[in-house]
Amino acid sequence: MPNEDLYQKLLNILPKENILLDEPMKKHTTFRIGGNADFLIIVSNIKEIKSVVKLAKENNIKTTVIGNGSNILVKDNGIRGITLKLNLKNISKEEKDGNVTYTCGSGVSLTQIANEALEDELTGFEFAYGIPGSLGGAVYMNAGAYGGELKDVILETTYIDKNGNIKTISKRRA
C-alpha cells in the first residue's frame, strides 16, 4: 500500500497529531540514535490500538511496538511500516481482603507506579523505582533489579494479538 493511502486510512482512526510521518527515532530512544520511522503512531486507548492492528493486518503492513524506548536500538535506515508507541496512561486500584491490586496501562512508567505504591504505603514494587521504561516494556522484558522482577508482582496481563483480539494471560501460581 502506498504511504499516502495508508496515511489517509490512519486519519480515519486517529487524531492527525498522533500520526508522525518520517519520524526520527532518536527522539524516542534513550540512546538518542536511529533513523526514521515511516509512520510513528501514538495510541492512547484500546480502541485505537485494535483499529491500527487490524488495518496493518488487512494491508500486510509490518508493525513494530515500542514503549519508552529504553531498551531498543534503531538502525540508521530506520523502521519501515508502522511503529506503534503505546501511551496508555490509566491507573486504577482495588482493595480486597487487605490486598491492593493496581490495574495500569502499558504506557505508565515504572517510577510512577513505584511512587503511587509509596503514597499508598505498599511494599513490593521498590525494586522497579529506578528502571527506566514503561510498564508494557517492563512486562515484555521481565525487567528487574535488586532481586525483584516484574514476574513477582504481575497477576494478569491483557494484550491485543496480531488479529486485533483482546486476550488475557493470568500468572500461573506455583
* Strand blocks (E) in the chain: 19-24, 36-43, 63-66, 79-86, 91-96, 99-104, 144-145, 148-149, 156-160, 166-170
150/155 Cα distance (integer angstroms) = 10
136 sits near ligand FAD (criterion: CB under 6 A): yes
Ramachandran sector of residue 148 (left: φ over 0; alpha: ψ -120 to 50; beta: rest): beta
φ and ψ at residue 152, rounded to 5 degrees: -75, -20
User: Min. distance of Cβ 79 from ligand FAD in angstroms?
Assistant: 11
Cβ atoms of residues 52 and 43 within 8 Å: yes
138 sits near ligand FAD (criterion: CB under 6 A): yes
Which CB sits closer to ligand FAD, 11 or 169?
A: 169
Q: How many residues bind ligand FAD (CB under 6 A)?
A: 23
Residue 89 grid coordinates: 496512561
**Piece of 36-44, 46-54, 55-63, 129-137 that binds ligand FAD (CB under 6 A):** 129-137
| Near ligand FAD by CB under 6 A: residue from 140, 148, 152, 154 | 140
CA nearest 65: which of 171, 169, 140? Answer: 140
39-78 residues near ligand FAD, rule: CB under 6 A: 65-72
**Piece of 14-22, 75-83, 91-99, 138-146 that binds ligand FAD (CB under 6 A):** 138-146
Cβ atoms of residues 55 and 81 within 8 Å: no
User: Min. distance of Cβ 51 from ligand FAD in angstroms?
Assistant: 16
Residue 136 grid coordinates: 508494557
1 sits near ligand FAD (criterion: CB under 6 A): no
Which CB sits closer to ligand FAD, 51 or 70?
A: 70
| Near ligand FAD by CB under 6 A: residue from 8, 11, 27, 30 | 30
Q: List contacts with ligand FAD (CB under 6 A).
A: 30, 65-72, 86, 106, 131-134, 136-138, 140-141, 143-145
